[in-house]
Amino acid sequence: MPEHYNESKENTMAVSIAIDPITRIEGHLKAKIDVSDGVVQNARLTGGMFRGFETILLGRDPMDAPQIVQRICGVCPVSHALASCAALEDAADFTPPVQARLLRNLMQGANFLQSHILSFYQLSSQDFFQGPSTPPFSPRQKKPDLRLGEAETRMMLDQYLESLDIRALCHEMAAIFGGRMPHVHGIVPGGTTATASAGQIQDFRSRLKKVRAFAEQRYLPLIYMLSEVYDDLAHMGRGWANAMCMGVFPHPDGGEPAFRAGIWAHGRELPFDPDKIVENVRYSWFTAASGGSPFSAPPLVVDLDKRGAYSFSKAARYDGMPMEVGPHARLWIGNPELSPAGRELALRHLGIRARRFRDLGETFVFSIMGRHLARAEETWFVADVMESWLDALKPKERAWEPLPELQNAEGFSLTEAPRGSLMHCLKVENGRLSFYQVLPATLWNASPRDDAGLRGPMEEALVGVSVADESSPVNAGRLIRAFDP
């Protein structure tokens, strides 16, 4: 394929390496990195698959949307179902019952736990240990840069295998109120289909206890330990070092959500304003007219011959800025207290006296290990707050009310999927969907360059990452997986 990208001239001395597929992520991603002096000088990420949900949704019954959009992501279907229901409910000026909000939080929470455990153990953990000499653990890169001794290696394999069962428990929790996972049936416009029996609450609670114990006794200690062993990765991959959270886990009674919305940029905090979001398409395989505000962007038109374009991902920007999203962004903005285990471990392994998340420091948080650690801390935080929602459930309380029929209306929703911010915008005309825009986390973290030429967050974070051996660019993969793209 002809090389159009204009910055390549700057790096004539660099060796260009293509990594495709980036494995152990959800979806199709290619990384092209230019390396010289053992360091990544430039990077571009290619989202290599396109289905076009926004046109698939057009003309459909609005009530079908929450089921269709779940098929965007098999790892985070709950978030898409919730975002779609919330946008429809916004369009109908409808507030779901308190019991429904509790049940939705619990299903979303269960899937956060599922997704985070999957992201670290099944996807990322092999970046740090050598499994048995059989697929899927073998083969692997020639120089995988693994630094654990025999005992720790065995411990990590044990945890990998144990985590498979724990992750399945999280899906079971979501299925108790949602019917099945992946792709829940229980989240519908108007509320939830389940009413939560005392038995179901007990079944949910017993599983939650096991998952929480796993987070406390396995996941957190492991991540803090790895942050010490792989200490160079604890200050590598800084990137734009900014953060966005659209807010998630609304308070059932209307108070502050568990993670509040906010922006962190240029070293200070700003209020979040959805009107400042724009989708750029200069480097995407879509016509120039396809971008714009998510409230009004026209349906995508593919243009695979577009000069300079290199991705099916659009570049979402906030007030012109690429923004990092995900657990580290949510925790940086919300700045909750660390887990009790985490406070001890931070002192032991990192030598940091930390009470709240930001005490870990910007350099550490915006690093490969920092982003992993945020995911582990958030697993504990979500498991903890879920118990209070479980306590607030009233067995057999109705959790659904009919949504007023939508003829001509528009609505939007802001939430967070496990991997980062999620926004849905829709319009209904004559009872049919006439407009649908989905802004998933990938359009932020894994975005290509924007119209101003600014790299996407993961592209920017790749710059400066060390590559000791060009045949085994392990740190590039580590950085990408730490974002859980």
Partner 1 sequence: MNKDVSSPLRPLGRRNFLRSALLTAALAGVTRTFSPCVSRALAETLTAVRPPVFWLQGMGCTGCSVSILNSLHPRIADVLLQIMRMDFHPTLMADEGEGAMNFMLRSAAENDGAFLLVQEGAVSEEEGGRFCVIGEAGHEEYPLSVTLERLAPHAAAVLAVGSCAAYGGVSAARGAMTGAMGVQDFFHRKGIGTPVINIPGCPPHPDWMVGTMLILLDAVERRGLAEGLREVASTLDAWSRPKAFYGSTTHENCPYLYLFDEGRMAENFPDKAGCRYGLGCKGPTTWCDSPLRRWNDRVNWCVENALCIGCVQPDFPDGQSPFYRKNLR
Interaction residues for partner 1, span 205-264 (CB under 8 A): none
Considering the complex, state which of residue 68 and residue 338 has its C-beta at the smaller distance from partner 1.
68
DSSP string, 379-424: HHHHHHHHHHHHHH--TT---B-PPPPPSSEEEEEEEEETTEEEEE
Considering the complex, state which of residue 141 and residue 363 has its C-beta at the smaller distance from partner 1.
141
For 49, 104, 357, 433, the CA distances from 65, given in Å and listed in that order, are: 21, 17, 37, 9
Here the tokens at position 311 are 């991705």
Q: Could you give the CA distance from residue 241 to residue 99 in angstroms, rounded to a whole number?
A: 38
Considering the complex, state which of residue 190 and residue 448 has its C-beta at the smaller distance from partner 1.
190
Considering the complex, state which of residue 32 and residue 455 has its C-beta at the smaller distance from partner 1.
32
Considering the complex, state which of residue 49 and residue 198 has its C-beta at the smaller distance from partner 1.
49
CB of 19 vs partner 1, minimal distance in Å? 4
Within residues 385-404, the interface with partner 1 by CB under 8 A covers 398-400, 402
Query: Per CB under 8 A, does 135 bind partner 1?
Result: yes
Considering the complex, state which of residue 299 and residue 464 has its C-beta at the smaller distance from partner 1.
299
Within residues 178-197, the interface with partner 1 by CB under 8 A covers 178-183, 185-186, 188, 190-195
CB of 260 vs partner 1, minimal distance in Å? 29
DSSP string, 153-167: HHHHHHHHHHHHHHH
Among 39, 63, 229, 392, binds partner 1 (CB under 8 A): 63
Considering the complex, state which of residue 178 and residue 370 has its C-beta at the smaller distance from partner 1.
178
The long-range contacts involving 193-198, CB below 8 angstroms and separated by at least 24 positions, are: 193/399, 193/400, 194/103, 194/399, 195/99, 195/395, 195/396, 195/397, 195/398, 195/399, 196/99, 196/103, 196/393, 196/394, 196/395, 196/396, 196/397, 196/399, 197/395, 197/396, 198/395
Considering the complex, state which of residue 377 and residue 484 has its C-beta at the smaller distance from partner 1.
484
Among 7, 10, 20, 470, binds partner 1 (CB under 8 A): 20
CB of 291 vs partner 1, minimal distance in Å? 17
Among 8, 39, 131, 463, binds partner 1 (CB under 8 A): 131
Considering the complex, state which of residue 149 and residue 351 has its C-beta at the smaller distance from partner 1.
149
Here the tokens at position 82 are 């919730």
Binding mask 141-180 for partner 1 (x = CB under 8 A): x--------x--xx--xx--x--xx-xx--xx-xxxxxxx
Our CA dihedral for 461, 117, 233, 373, rounded to 10 degrees, sits at 90
Reply yes or no: is the peptide bond before residue 21 cis, omega within 30 of 0. Answer: yes
Residue type (1 letter), 449: R
Binding mask 402-431 for partner 1 (x = CB under 8 A): x--x--------------------------
CB of 59 vs partner 1, minimal distance in Å? 7
Query: Which range, of 67-75, 84-92, 338-346, 363-371, touches partner 1 by CB under 8 A?
Result: 67-75
Residues binding partner 1: what is the number (CB under 8 A)? Answer: 92
The long-range contacts involving 390-396, CB below 8 angstroms and separated by at least 24 positions, are: 390/106, 390/201, 390/204, 390/205, 390/208, 392/102, 392/252, 393/99, 393/102, 393/103, 393/106, 393/196, 393/201, 394/99, 394/196, 395/195, 395/196, 395/197, 395/198, 395/201, 396/195, 396/196, 396/197
Among 6, 10, 38, 64, binds partner 1 (CB under 8 A): 64
Within residues 331-370, the interface with partner 1 by CB under 8 A covers none
Within residues 109-128, the interface with partner 1 by CB under 8 A covers 118, 122-123, 126
For 27, 390, 478, the CA distances from 249, given in Å and listed in that order, are: 26, 13, 29
Q: Could you give the CA distance from residue 239 to residue 321 in angstroms, rounded to a whole number?
A: 12
CB of 130 vs partner 1, minimal distance in Å? 6
Q: Could you give the CA distance from residue 159 to residue 153 in angstroms, rounded to a whole number?
A: 10
Among 38, 136, 308, 320, binds partner 1 (CB under 8 A): 136
CB of 120 vs partner 1, minimal distance in Å? 14
Query: Per CB under 8 A, does 14 bind partner 1?
Result: no
Instruction: Decide: 446 and 429 in contact? Cβ < 8 Å.
Output: no
Query: Per CB under 8 A, does 295 bind partner 1?
Result: no
Query: Which range, of 54-62, 238-246, 252-260, 262-270, touches partner 1 by CB under 8 A?
Result: 54-62
Considering the complex, state which of residue 168 and residue 352 has its C-beta at the smaller distance from partner 1.
168
Residues 6+ apart with CB under 8 A from 150: none
Among 40, 43, 45, 73, binds partner 1 (CB under 8 A): 73
